[in-house]
Amino acid sequence: MAHILHIDSSPRAERSHSRSLTHRFVTDWKNAHPQDTVTYRDLGHQPVPHVDEPWIAAAYSAPETHTPELQKAISTSNTLIDELLAADRYVFGIPMYNLNIPSTFKAYIDQIVRVGRTFAINEQGYQGLVSGKKMLVITSSGGSFRPGTPMGGYNFQEPFLKAIFGFIGITDITFINADNLDSGGDEGRKESLTEASNAISQAIANW
């Protein structure tokens, strides 16, 4: 039995393509694996706080020395990291904003990438502490930023996600991209969403 952490980061509701596709994946996955459990977090509608000075003070000091203020400052991070570590698999819906991820998801990353919890520093350098996990990232974008396309070099989203999650030890990452949703017109949008839907079906069979 697996436990999935499902996160959406789009501020849109019914109009969100990434949100629609992640929900399609999780629904179909649950139908195929009814024994699995899911934890859901909606960063698009319920964003987490940004890192601030009390957070930094708490993250770089021993928990037994924390004042009530520092305990409060680090509490959200503790909750999010506990969720991350408890899951075996991750399904993240992340639209592309200005060539990268939304600020809501960046705030989440800043809360979970934490020394002593998700990565360590030792004589060999940095070591990721989150191992043995699988991640599926479903992205959406108005244009096409795939490798080899004219705009491929402007895609900072996928390389960043691979780098930051690889940094904490998560390297088994699958991407499904719904692109050309605006620039491709109605036909291009339909074609891209069909391709993403087919990729979801394949991922459910093989993930």
pTM above 0.85, yes or no: yes
Q: Which fold has domain 3-206?
A: Rossmann fold (3.40.50)
For residue 108, the number of C-alpha atoms closer than 13 Å in the C-beta half-sphere is 24
Enumerate the H helices of 33-171 as residue ranges. 53-59, 68-86, 103-112, 157-167
Going residue by residue through the chain, which has 207 residues, state the pLDDT in tens, using 9 for 90 and above.
Answer: 899 999 999 999 989 999 999 999 999 999 999 999 999 999 999 999 999 999 999 999 999 999 999 999 999 999 999 999 999 999 999 999 999 999 999 999 999 999 999 999 999 899 999 999 999 999 999 888 987 888 899 999 999 999 999 999 999 999 999 998 887 778 888 899 999 999 999 999 998
Q: Where are the domains of the chain?
A: 3-206
- Strands of 89-95's sheet, edge to edge? 37-42, 3-8, 89-95, 134-140, 173-178
Q: Is 157 left (phi over 0), alpha (psi -120 to 50) or beta?
A: alpha
Measured between alpha carbons, how far is 57 from 68 in angstroms, rounded to an integer?
Answer: 12
Q: Is 125 left (phi over 0), alpha (psi -120 to 50) or beta?
A: left
104: its two tokens: 């809501």
Q: Is 139 left (phi over 0), alpha (psi -120 to 50) or beta?
A: beta
**CB neighbourhood size of 57 (10 A):** 16
